[in-house]
Structure 1
Amino acid sequence: MNDVWQSDWSLMTPEWIVLAVAVVLLLIDVAMPDERSRRPLAWGAALGAVLALGATAALIPAEPASILHGTFRLDSFAKAFKLLLLAGGALALLIVAGWNPKEGSRYGGEFAYLLLFALLGAMMTASSGDLLTLFVSVELLTVSSYILAGLRKTVAASNEAALKYVINGGIATAVMLFGMSYVFGLTGTTNLNEIARRLQETNEPYMLALAFLLLLIGVSFKLAAVPFHMWAPDVYEGAPVPATAFFAVVSKTAGFVLLLRLLVTMFAAAPAEGRDPSSLLLSMQPAIAVLAGLTMIIGSVVALRQRSLKRLLAYSSIAHAGYLLAGFAAMSWAMIDSLWIYLLAYLLMNMGAFAIVSHIVDETGSDDWDGLTGLYRHRPLLAAALGLFLLSLAGIPGTAGFIAKLHLFIGLVVTEPGHYVLAAVMAITTVISYVYYFNLIVQLFFRPLFSSAPLGRMSAGLSAAVVLCALGTLALGWAPGLAYNVLAQFDHFGDFLP
C-alpha cells in the first residue's frame, strides 16, 4: 500500500484534469436551472481537453515510467496517442458547443461531461499496462458511448442506435474478455509485460492462437472491421452528429491503441506452432491481411450506394479502418509511426467534415446529400472547406490524406516479403472511393441550388472546428515535416515493447 501512495501521481496529470473537469461540469449541470443554456458547459469541457493536451505535451520529455504496480504506463506510445485522443476530443466538444438540434440544447450538459468520461477511458487505454485496467478503461469509453448514442431520447433513430450499439458492444466485450481469460489461464498474471515474458515459454501454441483470434475478433467489433461492421452505419446515422464524430475519430483511434497494446505487446515474441515463423503475431499476418482487405473492399463498395451523409461517412470510416489494418498487417519497422500519422490526418479531415455535416443537419433537418447541392452558390468558404476535407479523405496530393496513405502504402511494399496484393487492394479501393467523394464535390460546386433558403451562419464552435481542421489538413499535406518533428520526440517508440 505504501508503494501505491508513494507513486508519482504527476504522470497522470492529463487524466486528473479531464476527470476533475468532468465532475465539476456534472455538478454544475445538476445545480443549473432547467431553462438555462448548457452551451457554456461544452466550452468548459473543450477548455479542459485543451488543458489536458497541454499537460500531455509537457510530459513528452519525461522518461518512461510506470506506477500502481505497472498498471499505468507513461511511455512514448501513451504520450503520442494521448495527443491524438485529446485533440480529437477537443474538436468533438467544439462541435457539441455549436450543436443546435431541433429540440434545443436540452442535453448539452450531459453531452459535455459524458464525452469527457469517454475521453478519459480512451486515455487510460493508451496508458494501461495490465489487462484489468485495459478492460475497465475500454468499458468506461464504451458505456459512455452507449449513452451518447441514445441521448436524444425523443428521437426513435437515436434510441435504435443506442440499442444496436449496446448489443454489439456487449458481444465484442464478451468475446474480448473470453480471449483475455485464456491469456490469464496460460500465464497466471494480468500484467502485460509479464504476460509477454511468460508467453515466450508457453508450450500451448494452439490455445495461444485461439486467444489471439478471440482478442482480434473482439477488437474488430470495436473498429467496425468487416465482417463485424454491421452496427456502425445504423449507429452513426441514428446518433447525434457530435457523438458520431466522436465515435468515428476518437473511439476508432482508441480501438487501434487497444489493438497495439493487446496484440503487439503480448504476442510479438510469443512462439507459433513449429516456431516458423518465430512469432505468433507474424504467423497471424495472413488473417489480419484478409480482414484488412475485406474491410477496405466492403467499406468502399457499399459507400457507393449511400445518400445519407452520415451513413456515407460511416462506410468511409470502415474503409479507412481497412487501410489502417493493412498498415498493421504489414508490421514494418515504422508501423506505429505510420499508424500515428494516418490517425492524425484522419482526425483532421473527418472532424472537419462532421462539423460541416452537423451544421447542415441542424439547418435542414436531414442528412441527405441533397442538402449539399449548390452550397458553393451562397456559402463558398464552407463549400471550399468541405471540398478540402473530401479531397483529403480521397487521398489527393497536397492534402493530409495523401501523406497518410503514402506512408501506409510504402510500409506494405518495403517489407520483406512485400504485401503487394494488399497494396493493390488499397490502391483499387482508393480509386473506388473517388466516385463517392467526387459525387459530393459535384453536388457542392456543379449542381443548381436545391433550396432557395440559404443556410444560416455557423456557430462559433463549429467555425472554430472547421478552421482548425482545414489548417491542419493543409499543413500536414504541404509541410509533413511538422508531424515528423513531433514523432521524432518519441524515438520511433523504442520503449513500446517490454
Structure 2
Amino acid sequence: MIQTLLDFDLRVLAPELVIVAAAALLTIVDLLLKETVSRKWIGILGLLAVLVAGIFVGLGWGHEPYQILGDSYRIDDFSLAFKAILLFGTALVLLFSLSDKDTEKLEAESEYYSLLLTALLGAMIMVSSAELITLFVGLELLSLSSYILVGIRRKRADSAEAAWKYVVLGSVSSAFILYGMSFLYGLTGTTHLFEIQQHVAEIAGTDYQAFLYLSFFLMIVGFGFKISSAPFHTWAPDVYQGAATPVTIFLAVVSKVAAFAFVVRIVLIAFIPLVTTGVWNEVISWSFMLVAALSMIVGNTVALRQKDTKRLMAYSSIAHAGYMLVPPATMGFVGFDLFPSLVFYLVAYLCMTLGAFVVIEIVARRAGTYDMNAFAGLYQRSPSLALIMTFFLLSLAGLPVTAGFIGKFYILMSAIASTHYWLAAIMIATTVISYYYYFGFARQMYFRKAEDSQKIAVSWPTVAVVGMAVLGTILLGIIPDFFLQAFGQLDWVSGFSQAANSLGY
C-alpha cells in the first residue's frame, strides 16, 4: 500500500515542524520590519520556538517507538533524549545571544537567529534518521548553516579565515562520509540502515568484507572531523577562535552532541552484525579506541601551550571528544548499558563547557582580549564570576564531587570493564595533565593583580544562562544516581531495532 504524509500521525514531527516554521517565519518577519526596529524580537521568537519544540519532545515520552516514511524517520527514546539535549543547548545559546553586544554581529542579527534554527533542525533530523540520505541531508543542513554562522561577522578577518577553513575542511569530511556511504549502498543495494544491517550480516565473512572495512574507514575520517577528534581536529582551534562566542558555544556543544548521535546511529545499526564475527572487536572498537586515545593525548598536551582562552577551550573540546568516544569504542565488549554513561557525560559536558565559554566572553568583552591575562585579578573585580569559573574548571578537570568527575568515572569504568587498561591509563594520565592548563585560569584569577579595578556588569540573560549551567552541573554532581537511573530506564535498544508502529501512537 502506498503511503503519503497524510497517512501518518504528524504529531511525532511536531518539534521539527515548529522549528522549520519558526525559521521561515523569522525570515518573513525580518523582511517586513523596518530597519530601525530592533531584531532582538526575532531572537525572542526563536527562543520561544525552541521552548515549544521542547514541550512537544516532552510529550513524546512514554509511547512505543514510531516510524514514518518506511522507517527512515524514527521517534524513539534515543532520538527524544538527544533532541532534548539539542534543544536545551540551543535555548541557552539563544538566550546568551540576546545579551551579546557584538556590533559586528548585529548587522546580520536576524539571519543569525534564523541560521541557528536551521542548524538545529539539521541536528534534529540527524538524530531521528535511519536512512543514509536523510542522515546526510540533516548533516549538510547543520554544516551549511554552521559555515555561514562562523563567517557572519563579515568585517572580521579572523572570522572570514575561520569560515574559509571550516568550509574547505568540512566539505572534504562530508565527501569522505558520502564516499563511505556509497560503498555501503553499492554492497547492499539500499540506503535504509536496517536493510543495510541485514545485508551486512550476509556479507560478513565473505570476500566482500574488505569493502565493509573500506566503507567504515572512509566514514570514520568524516566522523572524526564532525566531532573534532584527533587527528581530524585541525579546524577546531581556528574556528572556535574566529567565530563569535555564541557560535563557538553552539559548535562546541550542540553540534558535537548531534555528531555523536550521527556516528552512533550509523555504526550501531549498519555495522552491528560484525559483532558476531569478531570483526567488531578487532576493527571497529579498536579504531574508535585509537582515535579516542589520540584525541585525549593531543587535546590535553597541545592545550598546555595555549594563551588564547578560546583556542585553549577548543583543545579541551578535542580532549573531551576522546573521553566521549570511549563508551562507543568499548560497547562491543560490554553491551548497550554504556548509553547512560555517554548521555550523562554529554549533558555534563554541555553545562560546564557552555558555562565556561560564557564567563570567558564576559571577561574578554570587558578586557578587550581573549588572552589568559584578561582573567588577572578577577576575584578582586568580581568574586562571584571567579568562583563560578572555578566551579566550571573543577568540573572540566574532573575533580571529585563534580559532574565532570562522575562522568569520567563511569566512562573510565567502561574502559576497565572491557579490560582495556591502557585506555583507562591514558584517561587518567591526560586528565592529570589537564589540571595544569585549567588551573592556569585559577592562577590568573586569584594570584595575579588586576590592572582594571572596575566591577564587571552582567546582563540578566547572561545571568540566567550561567545560572542554568551552574544548576545543571551541580545537580549532575550531587545526585548523579538519579540521572543515571533515569537514563538507564530508557529503551535505548529500540533506537537500533525496527519499530513495529508505523501509523500512529
Q: Which position in structure 1 is the counterpart of 2:62?
A: 61
Pairing partner for 1:385 from 384, 388, 391: 388
For the 8 Å contact 2:105–2:153, the answer to whether it is kept is no
Q: Which position in structure 2 is the counterpart of 1:219?
A: 223
For the 8 Å contact 2:51–2:91, the answer to whether it is kept is yes
CA RMSD, Structure 1 to Structure 2 (Å) = 1.6
In the TM superposition, what are the counterparts of 1:129-278 in structure 2 within 5 Å?
A: 129-202=130-203, 203=206, 204-270=208-274, 275=277, 277=278
- C-alpha distance in 1, partners of 2:43/2:190? 41
Q: Which position in structure 1 is the counterpart of 2:372?
A: 369
- C-alpha distance in 2, partners of 1:107/1:477? 39
- Quote the offset at 1:74 in angstroms: 0.7
Which range moves more in the overlay, 110-119 or 313-322?
A: 110-119
Question: One-letter code of the match for 1:451?
Answer: D
- C-alpha distance in 1, partners of 2:471/2:33? 36
- C-alpha distance in 2, partners of 1:54/1:395? 32
For the 8 Å contact 2:65–2:494, the answer to whether it is kept is no
Q: Which position in structure 1 is the counterpart of 2:503?
A: none
Q: What's the TM-score once normalised by structure 2's chain length?
A: 0.94
Which range moves more in the overlay, 480-489 or 164-173?
A: 480-489
Larger RCO (alpha carbons 8 Å, 6+ apart): 2
1:310 counterpart = 2:310 = yes
- C-alpha distance in 2, partners of 1:104/1:316? 26
- Quote the offset at 1:47 in angstroms: 2.0
- C-alpha distance in 2, partners of 1:5/1:19? 18
Question: One-letter code of the match for 1:6?
Answer: D
In the TM superposition, what are the counterparts of 1:385-464 in structure 2 within 5 Å?
A: 385-415=388-418, 418-455=419-456, 457-464=457-464
For the 8 Å contact 1:394–1:433, the answer to whether it is kept is yes
Which range moves more in the overlay, 422-431 or 347-356?
A: 347-356
- Quote the offset at 1:385 in angstroms: 1.1
Q: Which position in structure 1 is the counterpart of 2:94?
A: 93
**% identical aligned pairs:** 41
- Quote the offset at 1:495 in angstroms: 4.2
For the 8 Å contact 1:370–1:450, the answer to whether it is kept is no
Question: One-letter code of the match for 1:381?
Answer: S
Q: Which position in structure 2 is the counterpart of 1:360?
A: 363
- Quote the offset at 1:494 in angstroms: 4.4
Q: 5+ residue gaps in structure 1?
A: none
Q: Which position in structure 1 is the counterpart of 2:6?
A: 5
Which range moves more in the overlay, 369-378 or 471-480?
A: 369-378
For the 8 Å contact 2:30–2:110, the answer to whether it is kept is yes
Q: Which position in structure 1 is the counterpart of 2:502?
A: none
Per-residue Cα deviation, 1:33-83 (whole angstroms, up to 9, x for no partner): 223322222222122212211211110111101001211101111011111
Q: Which position in structure 2 is the counterpart of 1:120?
A: 121
- Partner-residue secondary structure (3-state), 2:102: coil
Q: Which position in structure 1 is the counterpart of 2:478?
A: 478
For the 8 Å contact 1:96–1:111, the answer to whether it is kept is no
- Quote the offset at 1:489 in angstroms: 4.4
- C-alpha distance in 1, partners of 2:482/2:364? 34
- C-alpha distance in 2, partners of 1:422/1:382? 36
- C-alpha distance in 2, partners of 1:365/1:300? 27
Pair 1:246–1:147, CA change in 2 (3 A): same
- C-alpha distance in 2, partners of 1:107/1:486? 41
For the 8 Å contact 2:301–2:433, the answer to whether it is kept is yes
For the 8 Å contact 2:326–2:414, the answer to whether it is kept is no
- C-alpha distance in 2, partners of 1:346/1:232? 17
- Quote the offset at 1:320 in angstroms: 0.2
Pair 1:197–1:335, CA change in 2 (3 A): same
Which range moves more in the overlay, 372-381 or 226-235?
A: 372-381
Q: 5+ residue gaps in structure 2?
A: 499-505
Q: Which position in structure 2 is the counterpart of 1:14?
A: 15
Question: One-letter code of the match for 2:15?
Answer: P
- Partner-residue secondary structure (3-state), 2:36: coil
- Partner-residue secondary structure (3-state), 1:200: helix
Deviating runs (4+, > 4 A) in structure 1?
none
For the 8 Å contact 2:79–2:495, the answer to whether it is kept is no
Pair 1:26–1:460, CA change in 2 (3 A): farther
Count of residues in Structure 1 that have an aligned counterpart in Structure 2: 491
Question: One-letter code of the match for 1:262?
Answer: I
- C-alpha distance in 1, partners of 2:33/2:238? 34
- C-alpha distance in 2, partners of 1:70/1:431? 45
For the 8 Å contact 1:352–1:466, the answer to whether it is kept is yes
- C-alpha distance in 1, partners of 2:458/2:108? 20
- C-alpha distance in 2, partners of 1:147/1:482? 40
Question: One-letter code of the match for 1:165?
Answer: Y
1:351 counterpart = 2:354 = yes
- C-alpha distance in 2, partners of 1:271/1:490? 23
- Partner-residue secondary structure (3-state), 1:260: helix
- Partner-residue secondary structure (3-state), 2:106: coil
Which range moves more in the overlay, 279-288 or 438-447?
A: 279-288
For the 8 Å contact 2:78–2:491, the answer to whether it is kept is no
Pair 1:485–1:17, CA change in 2 (3 A): farther
- Partner-residue secondary structure (3-state), 1:73: strand
